[in-house]
Amino acid sequence: MTIESPKSVPKTVRKTVLVLCTGNSCRSQMAGVLLSHELGGQVRALSAGVAPRSTVADNAIAALKDAGLPTDGLRPKDIDEVMDEHIDLVVTVCDNAKKACPVFPRPVRSIHLPFHDPYGESLESFIQVRNEIRARLVPAVAQALGLAWAERARQP
């Protein structure tokens, strides 16, 4: 009797996506969490800023929590903190970040999808931007990386 070992299933190679904005306190933070949530194990999302603020905006945290998304460990990061990472795609979510986007150690694909900056505005404004990020950025990243993604019927 011969016992065969189970066929190995190829591991899905996760792609690393860097979401870049100016302050890394609102849009890029929400985008990073949404990408990790919506694209599951296919994406490792990082976020950074070209001029990061000292804290993540309270309403960005509240908008994520409102959608049942995790917020533990979120903190603004300078672009220099991620320069040595293997990045497959850079997504700039504001015009300033697009202009200031640094040259990476190796060629990196990029896309630009600007969103309104809700910093200092109401929670409702943050929720609107969160929903726009989910509707536009998540499918654009999935398409740019050739990933499987099926939009969920529920809102975030």
Rounded-to-integer distance, Cα 87 and Cα 110, Å: 10
Residue 117 token pair: 């900056």
Domains in the chain with CATH codes: 15-145 (3.40.50.2300)
- Give the bridge partners for 49, in sequence order: 21, 78
- Confidence (pLDDT) at 151: 63
| H helical segments located in 43-114 | 58-66, 95-100
Q: What 8-state DSSP symbol labels residue 78?
A: B
**124 HSE (CA, 13 A, CB side):** 0
Q: 115 near 105, Cβ under 8 Å?
A: no
Predicted confidence pLDDT, tens digits, the chain (156 residues): 333 333 433 455 789 999 999 999 999 999 999 999 999 789 999 999 999 999 999 999 999 999 999 999 999 999 999 988 899 999 999 987 777 776 666 788 999 999 999 999 999 999 999 999 999 999 999 999 998 776 654 444
pTM summary value: 0.86
Q: What's the chain's average pLDDT?
A: 87
Give the active site residues: 21, 94, 101
For residue 151, what are the contacts with CB-CB under 8 A and spacing of at least 6? 139
- Confidence (pLDDT) at 154: 41
